[in-house]
Chain A
Amino acid sequence: MKKLLLMFCLLPYMALAQTLSPDVPLADATQEAQARELFRELRCEVCDGQTIADSNAALASDMRALVRSKIAAGEEKPQILIFFAERYGDAILMRPPVASRTAPLWFAPLGFLILGGFVFARYFRRDKQVA
């Protein structure tokens, strides 16, 4: 019975049993620095608001390993970012590109601010006239 209870308590940890890619730094310090720079440019697909540099998720650790192997193979930074963006969409980039498709994302807040300011100003001017 005790054994069964213990097994039951350990059940949630089963999810952790999946293997993580070991975080082995590259031997070349410059390459390792490049890899780490890229870790901070890539969003963890299965977490909220974390980069793959910060995440312990299995997928993030696999992605780190893949970035390292691509750097070691001599691939350039933009090339690697494109590899991930092609597969996971621009959403995987911590800094999504400014393109016609993403323009609303970048400029809509500015538009709303101007619109809001305009409405606000008119509203108060009218109130003053009434008073």
Chain B
Amino acid sequence: MGVPFSRFLPLVLFAALAGGLAYQLSADEAAKGTEEAPKARIIHADPMFGKPLPAFSAPILGKPDEKLTQAEFTGRPKLLNVMASWCGPCKMEHSILRDYAQERVIPIYGIAWKDAPEDTQRFLNSYGNIYAAVGSDEKGEASIALGLTGVPETYLISGDGKIAAIYRGALTREILESRFDPILAELRGEKVP
């Protein structure tokens, strides 16, 4: 006497659900290794991924008459780092970003979020100014225009002004190499390492 299939239906449904969840969880890990998908999925899932850098405007630190805008991000890939002098993780990633930008020969621009210009300046004086230019976003308006959720956040902008990669949080060397390097190489038409 066979047991009817419907008795197993809940078990089958559970297995399907568990399998689906396990697949989604492991896909992020797997994406790092495979050749077809060298870019981390998490960057792709971001609402801002692939979009043109939105219009924003922030007075440039030390040159308050000039503005840092999205127009600066054309021609070749550039990094945009949103930070603040009061932000601890920003200090942690500062030297990592400096080394990375130097080694990859990529210009890096800053936006100081909710930070008084004199505080930003003091921060750069003691930690080193790694930026081609820093926009002072004291009121946080320019940062919301970018879709910022907090500091630090780092954007890789392609030569045609699109957001090619985003990382929300403090960067490490590993994150830069696994998530930014493949995209940067692709933008520059190099072979993906």
Contacts and interface: CB of A to CB of B under 8 A. Distances in A.
B147 interface: yes
Interface in B121-165: 138-141, 143-150
Contacts of A69: 141
Given A62-B144, A65-B139, A87 B48 contact: yes
Nearest to B9: A119
B47 interface: yes
B147 A87 contact: yes
B1 to A, nearest CB: 12
B6 interface: yes
Nearest to A90: B47
A88 B143 CA distance: 12
Contacts, number: 53
Nearest to A123: B6
B131 to A, nearest CB: 21
Q: Determine chain B's interface SS by DSSP, over half rule.
A: loop
A20 to B, nearest CB: 9
Contacts of A89: 47
Nearest to B87: A18
A119 B11 CA distance: 12
A45 B149 contact: yes
Interface string A1-41: 00000000000001001110100000000000000000000
A53 interface: no
B86 interface: yes
Interface in B150-185: 150
B114 interface: yes
Contact of B139 (A14, A62, A91): A62
10 closest residue pairs by CB, A with B? A87-B147, A89-B47, A62-B140, A45-B149, A18-B114, A66-B144, A88-B147, A19-B114, A66-B141, A18-B86
Interface of A: 14, 17-19, 21, 45-46, 58-59, 62-63, 65-66, 69, 86-89, 91, 119, 122-123, 126
